[in-house]
Amino acid sequence: MPQEKIRLQKIIADRGLASRRKAEEWIAAGEVSVNGETAQLGDKADPDTDRIIVRGKPLAAAQGNVYLMLHKPRGYITTMSDERDRKCVAELIPDVEQRVYPVGRLDKDSEGLLLMTNDGNFANAMLHPARHVPKTYRVTVHPGVTDEQLAQMETGMVIDGRKTAPARVRVLTEEKGRVVLEIVLYEGRNRQIRNMCEQLGLEVARLRRIAMGSVRLGMLPPGKWRELTPEEVRRLKEEAKPKDKPHKKRRGSAG
């Protein structure tokens, strides 16, 4: 019995070439063809029988799923290549045989946990706004924070005309002119923490992602990577489900 045809963007994402959104951009730009015909958005194909060309190259055969954790250092951008010849996270995983791509982003000046995979369904589940997979950051700011500023970050702030989702914020350490915060976000807006802090008059001195869901960066050194354990992958998939809105937390110790 022939396999039911699948949308092209899902096929491309499942093979680890790009996210579904990026695949849709390639299709819209005419960079994908099926059996010699330029594909259109909405087209479907059978990955086992149809000849699919993506950006001039035949679609690679299906590979086993790979799940990695990379400790991204500052100064690297979260892409696999860059036309401006900037340092990319791809340079940090040269010994990974399978083609993987980042799950979400960390900006150039941020550091910490970055998941990478060739499993498109997993990546989409981790990033889907309805799934609310928490992302935990350790953020050093200057000069200091007030309870009112903490409350604004927790309840949501209007950035670029749209209110941010509620977050969890607590003070880990506090000294004159310097505060270390733990911030847990439930959405993935671009540069969200930096934009929130800037709006509150706070300077971000350091921003490091230390966890996604229940999976933590731990002692993995900057620039190094490791495979996720099957248990970590299982937990992340379980956590990638719709959640109730988070409760606010007051100042507290690092605990």
Phi, psi of 154, deg, nearest 5:
-70, -45
Choose one of 14, 33, 58: the last residue of a domain.
58
CA atoms within 13 A on the CB side of 151: 3
Q: pLDDT, tens digit, for every residue of 93-147? A: 998 888 888 998 999 999 999 999 988 889 888 988 777 899 999 999 999 999 9
Shared domain check, 24 and 49: yes
Q: What is the pLDDT of residue 253?
A: 36
- The answer to whether the beta carbons of residues 196 and 157 sit under 8 Å apart is yes
Q: pLDDT, tens digit, for every residue of 92-103? A: 999 888 888 899
Q: What is the pLDDT of residue 84?
A: 87
Taking the C-alpha atoms of residue 54 and residue 62, their distance in angstroms, rounded to an integer, is 14
Shared domain check, 37 and 95: no
Q: What is the pLDDT of residue 243?
A: 55
How confident is the chain (255 residues) per 10-residue block, as mean pLDDT? Answer: 77 79 93 95 90 90 85 94 89 88 93 94 84 93 95 94 94 95 91 95 97 96 96 93 52 41
Indicate the average pLDDT of the chain: 89
Joined tokens for residue 148: 């009112």
Total domains in the fold of the chain: 2
Q: Is residue 195 part of a domain?
A: yes
Active-site option among 43, 46, 50, 107: 107
Look up 107 and say whether it is catalytic. Answer: yes
- The answer to whether the beta carbons of residues 87 and 71 sit under 8 Å apart is no
Residue 54 structural domain: 6-58
Q: What is the pLDDT of residue 252?
A: 43
Shared domain check, 27 and 113: no
Crossing angle of helices 230-239/120-127, nearest 10°? 50
Shared domain check, 50 and 81: no
Choose one of 58, 80, 97: the last residue of a domain.
58
Q: Is residue 240 part of a domain?
A: yes
Q: Is residue 106 part of a domain?
A: yes
- The answer to whether the beta carbons of residues 172 and 182 sit under 8 Å apart is yes
Shared domain check, 156 and 226: yes
Q: What is the pLDDT of residue 97?
A: 80
CATH assignment at residue 183: 3.30.2350.10
- pTM comes to 0.74
Amino acid at 187: E
